[in-house]
A and B are shown apart, each in its own frame.
Chain A
Amino acid sequence: MVDVPRQVFLDHRTYRRRRLADLARVLPVIGMVLLLMVPLFWVQGAGGTVTSHAILWLFGVWAGLVVLAAWLASRRLEPEVDPKSGPRPLLSDERGRG
């Protein structure tokens, strides 16, 4: 049994990391708004949207999401770690302040 330790909200060693995890969780929602909902507001009907603009917007947002996701992934934000994968090494900034 690996119990999830009780998390102190203001634990200064992990506070930023947990907030970034919140950002990581919100990221798909942001993506949904920008990729799914925004195009719904575009001009419909006879004219339609200029395709190149749509391409630039969609791929721009997409690339932005990828970059953000990559940055967040590099911060190792999972709250718990798979016991089979071994202990999670401390990040350098956590080590410094711990």
Chain B
Amino acid sequence: MGSLNVLIVVCLSYVAALFAVAFAAERVALRGRAHWLHSPLVYTLSLSIYCTAWTFYGAVGNAARSGLEYLTIYIGPSLVMIGWLWGVRKVVRIGRSQRITSVADLISSRYGKSNLLAVLVTILAVVGTTPYIALQLQSVVESFASFAAADPESVPGAGRGGDSASTALWVAAGLAFFTVLFGTRNLDANERHHGVVMAIAVEAVVKLVALLAVGIFVVWGVGGGVSETLARIDASQLGHWQMASSRWSGLIFLSAAAFLCLPRMFQVLVVENDNETHLRTASWAFPAYVMLMSLFVVPIAVTGLELLPAGSNPDLFVLTVPLSQGREGLATLSFLGGFSSATSMVIVASIALSTMVSNHVVMPIWLRAHGGGATVSGDVRNVVLLARRLSIVGVLLLGYFYYRVSGGGAALASIGLISFSGVAQFLPALLGGIFWRGATRLGALSGLIVGSAIWLWSLFLPSVGTGVILPASVLEFGPFGMWWLRPHGLFGITGLDPLIHGVFWSMLCNTTAFFLVSVFTFPSPMERLQGAQFVNVFAHSTAPQGWQGGAAQSEDLMIMAQRILGAGQAQALFQDEARRQGLAGFLPEPSAGFLQRLERELSGSVGAATAHAMVGQIVGGASVSVEELMAVADETAQIMEYSSQLETKSEELARSARQLRAVNEKLTQISVQKDAFLSQISHELRTPMTSVRAFSEILRDTDGLTGAERAKYASIIHDEALRLTRLLDDLLDLSVLENGQVSLNIRSGTLAEVLDRAVSTAVQGGRLTILREPDNEMIAIETDFDRLAQVFINLIANAQKYCDAADPVLTLAVQRRDGLIIVDFIDNGSGIDADMHGLIFEKFSRVGHHKAGGAGLGLAICREVMARLGGAVAYLPGQGGAAFRVSLPEKPAIATQ
């Protein structure tokens, strides 16, 4: 038996053992006794898929070539985990509360459940991961080959190419089988794959033990102790480490970014996490794990360089050093370690990718092709499962073809970091999404597009090999001679390490585009909602998504849920919800809370965007989209505004009503006055008419009147006629004034002149004492003196008539104020009652009924005259008697119409 055959047997038994472990874990988990499956240790070990075959074998090769630089790949993730309170915990919390299924799902959910983003992320992830899977296949093939080379019984060289290809195919097929078997057992991608996780944990132990064993053998078996080994290191060609500082910091950043963004890392870190507190343990245990993984790398590299013939592949020192020392057992263990690294990575990566592909690419297309309905006939569950299985096979096939096409050369070895930098393009959208509410979908899209375009151009396409896709001339002179677009010298910056150059430009442009576009675009309502939930995930871990299930049919929902989740799971969910709502049976009320819960359960199977669309399909018209909510809110705001307008209007109305009431009261009073006046004026007209008639009858009918008698009667008739004439004159005067047909006779003079005339005219034999201020009265005025005198006469005559004091005194006070000449007529009588103030200037009004001296037109005429003269006359209350104020402008702005 050759060592190769032994190896194949060992390898097969190892695979069989892994299957057994996975089966056992699934069975234990099914029985619900799997407490130890949920231990933080298993979680930490599952994180170790970060260490792939590329790091298992490649770290030693890397160390042999460039010293301690390989450590960057481990230091970055270690720092991320040590700083778990910053970012990792938030991502995990978001993943758990939103039932996120992949990194594509996270980014799509954050930016308003955008499927376009999810597709973009998925494509980039597939492009970035495929070469990585090819790398794993290559490592397995090469490790087989190195055993074959050491096996004396195998035929060296014969048909090697065909062998390696078939080995790769077999490995790929085996991995596909395992992954399909354990990776798609549950449809709910959000649930832990217990079998897979357990197998990975076992593999993590195997690869750590393998590497430690080789390391211990090298240090103590070959080297002779720690200090001797250190001395040997210093003495070797690696003795003096010349660090490339840009690569040192750049690679630490890159590996830290990739740790968060790699689909497989997201799968184990977030999706498979079932208890947030496990992070606490992982925060130190994972750095410890990778530290141990890297501890013996340099001694192994130094020993390999020392012991093995020059030109041996340093990537395989982990295998070839023990083999060269005749330690086949150790070499086999080491082979198993590398095998474990490769298989665990491929399994998880293909699960993660298949979830993304089926949820974001296949399912949306399938749903659209089938009328977009979730209620279509056929088992959606089977479609999802099939899509996922085909995706797994597809991803592995892609990896295999990539391996075959690229020929597994040295070009492949550098693909690890290229792959890292590809997925690192998710970082701005990811971190921006969970820390910055201002990040928008368009921002994320542009960042991703710009970043991945630069990555493709400057890193990925050149990595395939010069002349494969990009001709050498493009690499050297740029496309079409555009030197500033050279893949390794963008914008004329050359001399940088190509990788750091590509990472620098792609991340810089990615972040800038993401930021700037986010700043200048506006997020849709859904983005705002999701953004708030992501950024403030610790403040509220539940999601108000706004389903309103009024018209939703629980039965339809159940039919759909059964198709997606499977009958048992769906019924359990519905029954549980019904119980929670206090209902018997299987059909809960389609409340908003339930719809939200259902959507989240479904999103575990088909992704958030699809689940949202499917529930929306059934809830149909009753689904309240955020846009509609916003519209409703707008409407409410409008209604509120309208009602406040109404309030204002009703206030206005109340004011108008008050004014109207006042006017009405006045009108009523005026009407009463008019009636009173009519009776008064009839009386006034009748009295003289009666006298005139009576005396004229006497003059006509009575004979023998004396001359004196006749003269007396005739003068009575004359007086009465005069009275009538005066009354009619007043009425005519008022009518003329009111109609504005008055013509004014403007003259210049002093106020004293007018007052003198008025006083002398009005006070004729009366007992009224008039007090004047002659000094003040010497004011030049320019007005119609006759009309003004008419007003003054009227006011003085009123005082004479109505002042009821024993010694009536009228004070004429003159003053100038604010460009007005003010003349106050104040008597010492009892004044006018307040309720009459509003009426005294009306026509036909009379204060009191005593001494009916006039027809009640005097003040009305005064008011009209003053209005014509551009002034006013008003009653001045609170002066101890009746007081009238006449105001006149100093400069006449007399209305002359």
Contacts and interface: CB of A to CB of B under 8 A. Distances in A.
B233 A55 contact: yes
Interface string B60-85: 00000001100100010011101101
A93 interface: no
A82 B243 contact: no
B82 A69 contact: yes
A51 interface: yes
Contacts of A25: 83, 85-86
Contact of A73 (B231, B276, B281, B540): B281
A50 B281 contact: no
Given A40-B248, A66-B288, A82 B276 contact: yes
Given A48-B240, A83-B541, A28 B82 contact: yes
Contacts of A85: 275-277
Contacts of A27: 82-83
Contacts of B80: 28
Given A28-B80, A28-B86, A78-B89, A73 B280 contact: yes
B435 to A, nearest CB: 14
Interface in A63-95: 63, 65-67, 69-70, 73, 76-85
Contact of A51 (B233, B277, B295): B233
Tell me what chain A mostly uses at the interface: helix, strand, loop, or mixed: helix
B85 A78 contact: yes
Contacts of A10: none
B248 A52 contact: no
B83 A28 contact: yes
A3 interface: yes
Contacts of A52: 230-231, 233-234
A14 to B, nearest CB: 15
B68 A58 contact: yes
Contact of A35 (B79, B83, B281, B298): B79
Interface string B230-243: 11011000111111
Nearest to A84: B96
A4 interface: yes
Given A4-B539, A40-B249, A48 B277 contact: no
B538 interface: yes
B248 to A, nearest CB: 6
- Greatest chain B CB density within 10 A among A25, A32, A46, A59 is at A32
A48 B291 contact: no
Nearest to A80: B538
Contact of A1 (B82, B242, B277, B542): B542
A80 to B, nearest CB: 5
Contacts of A81: 276
A62 B240 CA distance: 21
Contacts of B252: 32, 35-36
Interface in A24-62: 24-25, 27-29, 31-32, 35-36, 39-40, 42, 44-52, 54-56, 58-59, 62
B745 interface: no
B284 interface: yes
A31 B539 contact: no
B606 to A, nearest CB: 22
Contact of A62 (B233, B243, B277, B287): B287
Interface residues of B, number: 46
Interface in B246-277: 248-249, 252, 275-277
Contact of A66 (B238, B243, B280, B284): B284
A8 interface: no
B93 interface: yes
A1 B539 CA distance: 8
A85 B541 CA distance: 12
Contacts of B68: 51, 54-55, 58
Interface in B539-560: 539-542
Contacts of B233: 51-52, 55
A69 B85 contact: no
Nearest to A26: B83
Contacts of A36: 75, 248-249, 252
A55 B298 contact: yes
A50 B234 contact: yes
Contacts of B284: 66-67, 69-70, 73
A51 B248 contact: no
A73 B89 CA distance: 13
Contacts of A2: 540-542
A40 B245 contact: yes
B240 A47 contact: yes
Interface string B94-133: 0010000000000000000000000000000000000000
Contacts of A35: 75, 79, 252
B240 A76 contact: no
Contacts of A49: 240-241, 243
Nearest to B253: A36
Contacts of A80: 538
Given A1-B540, A2-B541, A55 B79 contact: no
Contacts of A46: 242
Contacts of B281: 73
A44 to B, nearest CB: 6
A82 B93 contact: yes
B298 A51 contact: yes
A3 B78 contact: no
- Greatest chain B CB density within 10 A among A3, A31, A35, A55 is at A55
A69 B283 contact: yes
B545 to A, nearest CB: 14
A49 B541 CA distance: 50
Contacts of A32: 79, 252
A72 B288 CA distance: 15
B295 A82 contact: no
Given A25-B83, A59-B291, A42 B541 contact: no
A52 B236 CA distance: 11
B579 to A, nearest CB: 19
B277 A82 contact: yes
Contacts of B542: 1-2
Contact of B291 (A21, A29, A54, A63): A63
A4 to B, nearest CB: 6
B96 A82 contact: yes
A73 B238 contact: no
Given A27-B83, A55-B298, A69-B283, A45 B234 contact: no
A77 B234 CA distance: 42
Contacts of A40: 243, 245, 248-249
Nearest to B232: A52
- Greatest chain A CB density within 10 A among B252, B287, B542 is at B287
A45 B240 CA distance: 10
A42 B243 contact: yes
Contacts of B298: 51, 55
Contacts of A82: 93, 96, 275-277, 541
Of all A-B residue pairs in the complex, the 3 with the closest CB atoms, nearest first, are A28-B83, A48-B240, A69-B284
17 contacts: A25-B85, A25-B86, A32-B79, A35-B252, A36-B75, A40-B249, A44-B245, A48-B240, A48-B242, A55-B230, A55-B233, A55-B298, A58-B75, A59-B295, A76-B280, A79-B538, A82-B93
Interface of A: 1-4, 21, 24-25, 27-29, 31-32, 35-36, 39-40, 42, 44-52, 54-56, 58-59, 62-63, 65-67, 69-70, 73, 76-85
Given A65-B78, A82-B276, 9 more contacts: A3-B540, A24-B85, A25-B85, A39-B243, A40-B243, A40-B248, A52-B234, A62-B78, A82-B275
Interface of B: 67-68, 71, 75, 78-80, 82-83, 85-86, 89, 93, 96, 230-231, 233-234, 238-243, 245, 248-249, 252, 275-277, 280-281, 283-285, 287-288, 291, 295, 298, 538-542
